[in-house]
Structure 1
Amino acid sequence: MRISAESERTYLQKVFAAIGFSNENSALLADTLVDADLRGISSHGIQRLAWYVNMVKEHTIEPKNEVKVLKETATSLLIDANKNMGQVACALAMHKLIEKTKKSVVSIAVIRNSNHFGTAGYWARMAVEEGLIGIANTNTRPLVVPPNATQAFLGSNAFAFTFPAEPHPFVFDGATSVVSSGKIQVLDKKNQEIPGEWAVDKERKIVKNARKAEDILATAAFTPHQKGGGVLTLGGIGEDNSNYKGLGNSLVVELLTGILAQGSISADTSVGKHDFSQFLMTIDPSFFGDLDTLRDNATSMFNRIRNLEHLPNTEIKIPGDREYKYYAENSENGVSVDDKTAEDLKRIGQELNVPVPETLS
């Protein structure tokens, strides 16, 4: 079914307020999920709501806890999310970084004791909307099996990077694994098979059934009772496709987040303390040259790539093209919600006395 973005937003704000978030933070959380759905990133949209609600019930997320700035300089921040949502801490951090970077060219924030923060691209886009370069990283729960391993240890460890361009900014936003767990969740809810070589079992055999893959990921936490299996690194199943490069990418994010924040590495977020960490960075490109010229040069490069000779009935897309296209279409036609998520929305609405969004189709 489809629902309008505004009805989704209203419903989410009421749900988040009902489970203890302030009105300001409820609006922020709702916006991050609606934004993901509008951009076609349903893995990080409203289908995540039941997971968020459960984590609040389990006190993994503490919606009333205040985010704290532990250390601050003209170009840097160390923030304690204090078990609140990653979105709340990242919003504070990005607003401060943008202000700092306009004075100092480059600024960095590290966030500890955090939770899921939505899409990495949401935070990197905040910077590019101010004419800056934005970078956002996070570690996650353990889902990813390193090359030749049969146990999950790494997180999907998202990385986002933005740069000014036309007709829209360059926005790269992706996991450092083959895929995020959320995409497997969506396929499972839709009773669809996994199209690529995304996940493996305890014997490192490819898993195509999304339900089976979800069961594997549910027990992928690095514990003595771990059953084995998980999501593959970029590069896939074998070293012949350079999956060690995917391992390297994931470890870079791990170092910038869990290690630099002195928090848990991904492997340990399911054992005892549950704490994700984030790394944010903003750069002012105008220090290096005229911003309009830099934007034009980037746009020229992207257009040359888009116009390369290509296979019939295909098109070449630059990171961001697909998401901005979906944003325009879904803003007009509404966002798609799978049947399982629709059931979750109805159940949550009944529990919290929040009317469910009206359907468009």
Structure 2
Amino acid sequence: MRISAEAERQFLEAVFKAQQFNAQDGALLADTLVDADLRGISSHGIQRLDWYTRMMKDHVLEPTHQPEVVKETATSLLVDANKSMGQIASGFTMNKLIEKAKKMGLAMAVIRNSNHFGTAGYYSRMACKHGLIGISTTNTRPLVVPTNALEAFLGSNAFAFTFPAKPHPFVFDGATSVVSSGKIQVLAKKGEKIPGDWAVDENRHVLHDAQKVEDNLGTIAFSAHRPGGGVLTLGGQDEVNSNYKGFGNSLIIEILTGILAQGSLSADTNVGKHDFSQFFMVIDPSVFGDLDVLTANVSDMFDRIRHLKHLPGTKIMIPGDREYKHYDENLVQGVSIDDKTIAEMQAIGQAYGVPVPAAL
């Protein structure tokens, strides 16, 4: 079913208000989810609402809590999210980093005691709106099996990087695993098979049953029981395809987040504090040259790549192209929401007295 993006936004803001988020925080939370759905990243859109609601009931996150600055220098921040939603702490932090980077040329931050923060690219794009380079990362629940391992230890550990360009910013936003767990969750909700070699069982055999994988990931991520298996690192199943490089990328994110924050490793977020950590960096490219020249040069490079000889029936797309195309289309035709998520919205709407938007 499709609903308008504005109807989705109004529904979410009403639900978040009923859940005791203040108006500003509720609007930010709603915007991050609507933005993901508009860009075709449904794994991080409104389908996350049911999980967020359960986390509130379990007091893993507290709607009325606010982030606090623990330590600050001219170019750095250490922020305690204070069990607030990851989006709230991340938006707060990125706004401060943008101010610092404009003055100093570079700024970076670590957030501790945080939660899920939506799409990493959302915050990197905040920097890009000011002509700045944005870098955003997070650790997650334990979902990913290291090279040759039989059990999950790492998170999907997203990484986003943006750079000013035309006709739209360059936006790379992706997990350091083969895929984020949310994409498997969406396939399971739709009753569809996993199309690639994304996940393995306790014997490291590839699985394509999305519901079976989702059930296993849920057990891994939300209980102390570790049944084995999980999502593969970039590079997939075998070392011959350089999966150790994806493993290394995941470890870098783990160090920049959980280690620097002195918080939980992804492996330990399913027990104890249940805390995620985030790392952000903002760079002013104009310290190296005229921003207009840099933007023109990178835009020219992308256009040259887009027009390379390519396979018949295919199209060369730069990271961000697909998402901006989806955004423009979905603003007109509405965002697509699977039936199971609609049912979750109906249950949540009934609980908080908020009507579910009608289909377009």
Q: 1:334 to 1:221 in 2, by over 3 A?
A: closer
The answer (yes or no) to whether the contact 2:139–2:157 under 8 Å persists in 1 is yes
* C-alpha distance in 1 between matches for 2:66 and 2:51: 21
The answer (yes or no) to whether the contact 1:115–1:275 under 8 Å persists in 2 is yes
Structure 2 residue aligned with 1:216? 216
The answer (yes or no) to whether the contact 2:152–2:230 under 8 Å persists in 1 is yes
- The Cα shift of 1:355 comes to 0.9
The answer (yes or no) to whether the contact 1:153–1:221 under 8 Å persists in 2 is no
**Counterpart mapping for 1:63-102 below 5 A:** 63-102=63-102
Residues 278-317 of structure 1: per-residue CA shift (max 9 Å, x gap): 0000000001000000001000111111000000010000
Structure 1 residue aligned with 2:269? 269
* C-alpha distance in 2 between matches for 1:86 and 1:50: 16
**Counterpart mapping for 1:289-304 below 5 A:** 289-304=289-304
- The Cα shift of 1:74 comes to 1.1
- The Cα shift of 1:272 comes to 1.1
1:278 aligns with 2:315: no
1:325 aligns with 2:336: no
1:308 aligns with 2:293: no
TM-score normalised to structure 2 length: 0.99
Structure 2 residue aligned with 1:136? 136
1:152 aligns with 2:179: no
Structure 1 residue aligned with 2:116? 116
* C-alpha distance in 2 between matches for 1:224 and 1:306: 47
Give the unaligned 5+ runs of structure 2: none
Structure 1 residue aligned with 2:288? 288
Structure 1 counterpart of 2:251, one-letter code: L
The answer (yes or no) to whether the contact 2:66–2:89 under 8 Å persists in 1 is no
Residues 213-268 of structure 1: per-residue CA shift (max 9 Å, x gap): 10110122497631101000000000000000000000000000000000000000
Structure 1 residue aligned with 2:12? 12
Aligned-pair RMSD on alpha carbons?
0.9
Structure 1 residue aligned with 2:2? 2
**Counterpart mapping for 1:333-352 below 5 A:** 333-352=333-352
* C-alpha distance in 1 between matches for 2:223 and 2:236: 24
Structure 1 counterpart of 2:268, one-letter code: D
Structure 2 counterpart of 1:33, one-letter code: L
Structure 1 residue aligned with 2:52? 52
Residues 162-216 of structure 1: per-residue CA shift (max 9 Å, x gap): 0011000000000000000000000001110000000000010000010011011
Identity rate, percent: 69
1:174 aligns with 2:177: no
Q: 1:223 to 1:185 in 2, by over 3 A?
A: closer
Give the unaligned 5+ runs of structure 1: none
- The Cα shift of 1:70 comes to 0.7
Secondary structure at the aligned position of 1:247 is classed as: helix
Secondary structure at the aligned position of 2:316 is classed as: coil
- The Cα shift of 1:17 comes to 1.0
Structure 1 residue aligned with 2:260? 260
* C-alpha distance in 1 between matches for 2:306 and 2:107: 32
Structure 1 counterpart of 2:19, one-letter code: I
* C-alpha distance in 2 between matches for 1:50 and 1:241: 37
Structure 2 counterpart of 1:304, one-letter code: R
